[in-house]
Structure 1
Amino acid sequence: GFGVSRPAHVRRLAPLADGIVVASALIDAMGPDGRDTARMRTLVEELTDATMR
């Protein structure tokens, strides 16, 4: 990956890109057992909000 995992990263890249890959960040957010869907959902919301600023 490229290390894009935080809203600040997305805010910097969004004006320059057609899309941003955050797959590793989502997998990490799900936790070691892959069941922390609440944390993943929060991260998706935060990253999505960052694209709209």
Structure 2
Amino acid sequence: MIDPVCGMEVNESSPYKTMYKGKIYYFCSSMCKKAFEKDPEKYLREGPKGMPGEEGHH
């Protein structure tokens, strides 16, 4: 499985997962899970973006 937010490899034993439109997505961290849940279509449409919070939120 690939984390749809950061693109990292994650396995199905990850505690961070969410269901969206009948499909389960797995995440490497709660940060990625929250980012996906905030805007799932963005990640599904555009693909992984890297770890949340790294793109200019200083």
TM-score (norm 1): 0.23
TM-score (norm 2): 0.22
